[in-house]
Chain A
Amino acid sequence: MSPSIQVAIVEDDAGLCRELERLINETEGFACQSTYPDAETALEGIARRPPDLVLMDIRLPGLSGIDCVRRLKDAQPALPIVMLTVYEDSETLFRSLMAGANGYLVKRTPRARLIEALREIVAGGAPMSRSIARKVVEFFHQVSQVPVPTGPAAGLEHLTPREQEILASLARGHSYKEIAVDLGISGDTVRKHMGRIYEKLHVHSRTQAILKYLGR
Chain B
Amino acid sequence: MPLRLANPRCPPRLPPIDGLPGWLTRLVAGLGLTAAMFASDAVFTPRQHLEKSWDVRDGLPDNGVNAVLQTRDGYLWIGTEKGLARFDGAQFRVFDPWNTKELHSERVSALCEDPGGDLWIGTKGGGVTRYREGEFKHVGLSSQYVSALCADRQQRVWIGTSGGGLFAFRDGSLQSFSATGGMPDLFVLAIHEASDGRILVGTRFAGLVEYRDGEFGPRAGVAGTATGPVHALYEEGAGRLWVGTPAGLVRLDDTGNRVLTTRDGLPSDQVLTIGRDRAGNLWVGTKAGAVTLPPGRDEEPRVVRSWLRGETVSACWIDREGSVWLATAGSGLRQLTPVAFAVLAAREGLNHDVVTCVMEDRVGRIWLGTYGGLNCWWAGTLTGWDTRDGLANAIVTALLEDAAGAIWIGTQQGLNRLVQGRLERCRSEEGWPPGSVWAFLEDAEGTLWLGTADGLYEHREGRITRHGVESGLPSQDIRALAGGREGRLWIGTAHGLALRHGGRLRPLALPSGSLTRIILCLREDPDGVLWCGTLGGGLIRLEAGTATGFTMREGLPDSTVYQILDDGEGCLWLTCNRGVFKVRRTELERLARRELTRLHPRVFDRTDGLPSPECTGFAQPAGWRSTDGRLWFPTRRGVAVMDPARPLRDDRPPPVRLEQVVADNERLRPGNHVTVKPGRERLEFHFVALSYAAPERVRFRYLLEGFDKEWTDAGARRVAYYTRVPPGRYRFRVTAGLGEQAWNEIGAIVAVTVWPEFWQTAWFRGGVVGVLALAALGVHRWRLGRVRALDRLRLRLAQDLHDDLGASLTEIALMSDPEHPEFAELVRARSHAGRISLKARSVVQTLNEIVWAVNPRNDNLPRLLDYLCTFSEELCEAAGVRCWHEVPVGLPARPLKVEFRHHLLLAVKEALQNVLKHAHATEVWLRVSVAGDQLEVVLTDNGRGFPPGAPRPHGCGLENMRARLEQIGGWTEVLDAGRGTTVRFLAPLGGGRLRRPRGGHDPIGPGKE
Seen from chain A, the residues whose Cβ lies within 8 Å of a Cβ on chain B are 86-91, 108, 129-131, 134-135, 137-138, 141-142, 171-173
Contact = CB atoms under 8 A, between A and B. Distances in A.
B873 interface: yes
B182 to A, nearest CB: 118
A90 B869 CA distance: 11
B996 interface: no
Interface string B182-202: 000000000000000000000
Given A88-B848, A172-B884, A130 B873 contact: yes
A30 B489 CA distance: 137
Contacts of B841: 108
Contact of A172 (B844, B857, B870, B886): B886
Contact of A135 (B844, B866, B882, B886): B866
Interface string B825-865: 00000000000000001001001100110000100001100
Q: Most chain-A CB neighbours within 10 Å: which of B851, B852, B869, B886?
A: B869
B890 interface: yes
Which among B870, B874, B884, B886 has the highest number of chain A CB atoms within 10 Å? B870
Contact of B852 (A86, A89, A172): A89
Given A90-B866, A90-B870, A134 B887 contact: yes
A88 B870 contact: yes
A173 B925 CA distance: 10
A137 B844 contact: no
A134 B889 contact: yes
B885 interface: yes
A111 to B, nearest CB: 10
B883 interface: yes
Contacts of A90: 866, 870
A138 B862 CA distance: 10
B148 to A, nearest CB: 106
Nearest to A216: B893
Contacts of B889: 134, 137-138, 141, 171
Contacts, number: 50
Contacts of A135: 866
| Main DSSP-derived SS at the B contact region | helix
A131 B871 CA distance: 10
B885 A171 contact: yes
B642 to A, nearest CB: 100
Contacts of B862: 138
A171 B841 CA distance: 25
B863 to A, nearest CB: 8
Nearest to A94: B866
A114 B882 CA distance: 20
Contacts of B851: 87
A173 B882 contact: yes
Interface residues of B, number: 22
B890 A130 contact: no
B812 to A, nearest CB: 14
A129 B883 CA distance: 13
Contacts of B863: 91
Contact of A173 (B852, B866, B873, B874): B873
A138 B885 contact: no
The 8 lowest CB-CB distance pairs between A and B, nearest first, are: A173-B884, A87-B848, A131-B870, A108-B841, A141-B890, A138-B890, A137-B889, A138-B889
A88 B852 CA distance: 10
A88 B867 CA distance: 10
Contacts of B887: 134, 171
A195 to B, nearest CB: 22
Contacts of B884: 172-173
A164 B852 CA distance: 28
A129 B866 contact: no
Contacts of A130: 869, 873, 885
Given A90-B870, A137-B889, A141-B890, 15 more contacts: A86-B848, A87-B847, A89-B852, A91-B857, A130-B869, A131-B866, A131-B869, A131-B870, A135-B866, A137-B890, A141-B889, A142-B890, A172-B886, A173-B882, A173-B885
Contacts of A138: 862, 889-890
Contact of B883 (A88, A134, A173): A173
B816 to A, nearest CB: 16
Given A86-B844, A87-B848, A87-B851, A134 B882 contact: no
A129 B869 CA distance: 10
B697 to A, nearest CB: 84
21 contacts: A88-B848, A88-B870, A89-B852, A90-B866, A108-B844, A129-B870, A130-B885, A131-B869, A131-B870, A134-B869, A134-B887, A134-B889, A137-B890, A138-B890, A141-B889, A171-B869, A171-B887, A171-B889, A172-B886, A173-B882, A173-B884
B457 to A, nearest CB: 117
B873 A131 contact: yes
Contacts of B848: 86-88
A135 B821 CA distance: 48
A91 B867 CA distance: 10
B928 to A, nearest CB: 12
A86 B852 CA distance: 13
Nearest to A134: B889
A23 to B, nearest CB: 14
A85 B847 CA distance: 14
Nearest to B869: A131
Contacts of A172: 884-886
A137 B862 CA distance: 13
Contacts of B847: 87
Most chain A CB within 10 A, of B852, B866, B890, is at B866
Contacts of A87: 847-848, 851-852
A85 to B, nearest CB: 10
A207 B547 CA distance: 100
Interface string B871-912: 001100000001111110110000000000000000000000
Nearest to B923: A173
Nearest to A141: B890
Nearest to A174: B884
- Residue of B851, B863, B887 ringed by the most chain A CB atoms within 10 A: B887
B861 to A, nearest CB: 12
A138 B889 CA distance: 6
Interface string B517-540: 000000000000000000000000
Contacts of B852: 87, 89
B185 to A, nearest CB: 117
Contacts of A89: 852
A171 B889 CA distance: 9
Contact of B874 (A88, A137, A171): A88
B570 to A, nearest CB: 98
Interface in B114-141: none
A112 to B, nearest CB: 13
A151 to B, nearest CB: 26
B819 to A, nearest CB: 24
Contacts of A137: 889-890
A172 B888 CA distance: 10
Contacts of B885: 130, 171-173
B922 to A, nearest CB: 13
A137 B883 CA distance: 19
A116 B886 CA distance: 28
Nearest to A106: B874
A87 B849 CA distance: 9
Nearest to A178: B882
Contacts of B869: 130-131, 134, 171
A129 B877 CA distance: 12
Contacts of B844: 86, 108
Contacts of B890: 137-138, 141-142
A92 to B, nearest CB: 11
A187 to B, nearest CB: 19
A138 B891 CA distance: 9
A88 B887 CA distance: 18
A17 to B, nearest CB: 18
A16 B866 CA distance: 28
A86 B844 CA distance: 8
